[in-house]
């Protein structure tokens, strides 16, 4: 069940109430706990643990091609960031995969990156310039930063939502934050901007973060508020700061129905590197602290429920045959690899 889609249909005076919103979010968590109590599910999970944690397991075919294309897109982002002295790090499931599996979580099909607001704003300006140096890259990719009425900030680029999806295999939600996609075969990288949180406002922040974020996203996407002005107003009220503080977390323009994951700044910085699929990428200094904050103390064990974005199912609808799809994967992976190996 898509709880966010259901919740979005409620009247504003209900869905912008933080108490109701927080209660609503407990529903999928309770369902998850119920599933964990199933004996059959537990035995299946033990089997998954054996396969995915204690074996050198890797998908083949389309799921692996998706990951290989992602690797080259990530390498391109890494090259751009290194060129302009921009800090970013592997975040969420991508970081978990690097620590637990040395690369992708075997069934994973996306890339998540964290980036502080100052570097995020810099990347917004330089990434399109670097993409535009390569005609085929610009032709094949989408770049999005949604603002009022879901209008794309990048006027000269296709949107990451510029695809046909008659079967509704991808999520209908459109997010405000920076996204970079290869449109066919379709993969998408999410950049999650982070901000500092003032320690003296931490209690207020925890109580009001979710409802404030949800309201900001809705108001801006509906064209009721100007993004820059509304962000400045809400940031000040909730306790975000542009100056270094003890804590950092996802900014208000990240996801909607997800609560705050709060990290200690000194556990994130200075960044270090971690091996991911044979390449070194930036990661937080203390990955254990970050992963416990994100996934709890048992993050090295497999989850009771395995979630996928089903990108492979959508990609198969983009092509007339498997041969055509495989040829396009091969061509695009080789093309990006050539750029990355000779990046200037």
pLDDT at 305: 57
Domains in the chain, number: 1
- Domain carrying residue 139: 3-341
Q: If pLDDT is split at 50, 70 and 90, which confidence band does 41 have?
A: very low
Average pLDDT score over residue span 70-96: 97
Q: CB count, 10 Å around CB of 187? A: 23
Beta-strand relationship, 186-197 and 111-116: parallel
Residue in 34, 35, 56, 58 with CA at minimum distance from that of residue 45: 35
Residue in 284, 239, 282 with CA at minimum distance from that of residue 260: 239
Q: Which residues contact 57 (CB under 8 A, 6 or more apart)?
A: 51, 106
**Residue written as token pair 């069934």:** 107
Q: Quick one: tokens of 126? A: 């330089």
154-198 tens-digit pLDDT: 999 999 998 888 777 676 678 999 999 999 999 999 999 999 999
Residue 142 and residue 183 in contact, taking contact as beta carbons nearer than 8 Å = yes
Residue in 293, 82, 92 with CA at minimum distance from that of residue 191: 92
User: Among 146-160, 187-201, 305-319, which stretch is predicted with the lowest mean pLDDT?
Assistant: 305-319
Residue in 217, 208, 280 with CA at minimum distance from that of residue 249: 208
Could you give the 3-state DSSP secondary structure of residue 327?
helix
> Is the pLDDT confidence value at 13 over 60?
yes
From the number of C-beta atoms within 10 Å of its C-beta (0-12, 13-18, 19+), residue 126 rates as: middle
Cα 82 to chain center, whole Å? 20
């Amino acid at each position: 069940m898509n709880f966010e889609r259901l919740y979005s249909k409620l009247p504003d005076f209900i869905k912008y109430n933080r108490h109701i919103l927080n209660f609503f979010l407990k529903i999928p968590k309770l369902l998850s706990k119920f599933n964990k109590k199933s004996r059959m599910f537990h035995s299946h999970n033990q089997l998954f643990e054996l396969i995915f944690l204690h074996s050198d397991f890797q998908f083949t075919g389309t799921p692996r091609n998706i990951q290989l294309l992602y690797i080259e897109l990530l390498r391109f982002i890494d090259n751009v960031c290194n060129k302009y002295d921009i800090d970013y790090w592997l975040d969420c499931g991508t970081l978990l995969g690097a620590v637990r599996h040395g690369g992708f979580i075997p069934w994973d099909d996306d890339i998540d990156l964290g980036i502080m607001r100052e570097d995020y704003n810099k990347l917004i300006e330089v990434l399109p310039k670097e993409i535009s140096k390569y005609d085929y890259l610009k032709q094949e990719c989408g770049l999005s930063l949604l603002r009022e009425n879901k209008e794309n900030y990048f006027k000269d680029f296709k949107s990451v939502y510029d695809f046909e999806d008659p079967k509704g295999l991808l999520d209908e939600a459109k997010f405000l934050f920076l996204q970079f996609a290869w449109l066919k075969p379709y993969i998408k990288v999410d950049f999650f901007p982070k901000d500092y949180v003032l320690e003296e406002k931490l209690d207020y922040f925890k109580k009001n973060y979710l409802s404030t974020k949800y309201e900001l996203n809705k108001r801006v996407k509906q064209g009721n508020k100007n993004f820059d002005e509304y962000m400045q107003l809400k940031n000040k009220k909730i306790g975000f700061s542009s100056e270094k503080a003890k804590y950092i977390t996802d900014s208000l323009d990240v996801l909607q129905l997800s609560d705050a994951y709060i990290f200690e700044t000194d556990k994130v910085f200075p960044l270090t590197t971690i091996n991911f699929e044979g390449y070194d990428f930036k990661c937080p200094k203390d990955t254990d602290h970050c992963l416990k904050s994100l996934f709890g103390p048992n993050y090295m064990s497999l989850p009771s429920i395995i979630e996928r974005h089903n990108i492979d199912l959508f990609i198969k609808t983009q092509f007339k045959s498997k041969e055509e799809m495989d040829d396009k994967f091969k061509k695009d992976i080789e093309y990006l690899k050539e750029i990355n190996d000779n990046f200037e």
